Structure 1
Amino acid sequence: MGKNDEPRTKDEGQRTQDTGQRAKAVRLLAIDLDGTLLDSRSEISPANLQALAEASARGVQVLIVTGRRFHSARPFVEQLPCPVAVISSNGARIATSSGGVLYRNFLPAGVARQALEIAREYWPYAVAIFDVPGRGQVTMHEGAVIEGPLGWYLKSAPECLAQVEEFGAAITQDPIQVLFGGPPSRIAPLEPVLRASAAISSIHLTWTKYPARNTSLLDVMNKGCSKGSALAVWAKRAGIDPSEVMAIGDN
């Protein structure tokens, strides 16, 4: 996110030679939620709903790709007029719209504990996300602060929140991911700490930044886990060539 204000490449007027070959038709449409399918009010416009319905009617598969947890994305997915699959948590999970899990690429528990121990200073801003229903899906330290993810989850998903005294003891299964969120000035120094640590060989770091909200999220994912890698997995399983995939998003 946050790249929409980057300068666009200038059209120099060069034309490519017509080789007589036609581009392959799109068979898979991968679309982001926040900043793309959802507007500034977190709503899906009638025009977007109609466009998805028309694409599906032409035989195009629709795939939602988001950094959100599946449970956070699901209310929007349920509004869509066509069958979809959902890549959630920045590529860690693929599921049907009804929740049936098709693919997992979770952070190994031992790696999660290692990363959290390295980042102990940042526990007030840390979250471990688990693939479980209800309480414990979002697990935070008892010393979490309101300016971090605690404030968000108390407002949006209090029924999923559990707070623990010791993070290490709470990681009894592979989490989907670990994330650190809060004011950019507070979270940014953590990235070089993790990159210089022994954990970096086992993790993938992803930033999501919301300048207007003075908020940054640093996701700690399993090594090689990303939206792009999950999209490639899905396309291969569906027998769809990369040239037949259209991806739309701001991130």
Structure 2
Amino acid sequence: MALEVKGLTAGYGPVTVLRGVDFEARAGQVTCLMGRNGAGKTTLLKAIMGLVELAEGSVRLGGVDLQGLPAHRIPCHGLAWVPQGRRLFGPLTVAENLEVGGLTRGNRAEVREHVLTLFPRLRERLAQPAATLSGGEQQMLAIGRALCLEPKVLLLDEPTEGLQPSMIALIRDAVLRLRAEGVAVVLVEQRVEAVLKMADRVAFMAHGRVEEMVEARRLEPGARQFLDYVGV
């Protein structure tokens, strides 16, 4: 099942951020969005989730048109989003955060077990308030909570930002396992090394458009695209 974005134009009030974006994320693949600050990466994820009103274009998942649906209904169609900053319920325990994430799907025990298998560290901290977790553990919980929706497409916005290498490796392994399970993962990431270890395809964004889509296997750490679009 593919997520298809066609001719998407959107922004905030009079400010247009996205200008005719065409983009596709395929099942069982990791598609990375890269670009300088202000290129429109986060706005694209928000527009897909119905949090930014579309001026033009369409968002479809498996042939179902998501345009115009209330934002709270879009996850029911198989989309989940982990924003920057994680936005956990800090006073709630790990178990309670996962329960909130599973409300839409009825909190099935096997789904929670899958999350805890993916992130064993969370099992050890089920009774611990989310606010007391380390940054890496909070990121695991944010992803785990999103996975309780049983998404077909998972949107991750800078999941490795501010994390130590060992935690980045754990997040990377989880993403690759989700890919193997057939989930379409859309990843906003600025770390070139992380991108090359996870991505199947890289979409380079500039000025509110996807300017270039490249198979990740064709890229090297010093590839021209990284210099042109990311400035590394």
The answer, yes or no, to whether TM exceeds 0.5 is: no
The structure with the larger Rg is: 1
TM-score, with length taken from structure 2: 0.33
If asked which structure has higher relative contact order (CA below 8 Å, sep 6+), I would say 2
TM-score (normalised: structure 1): 0.31
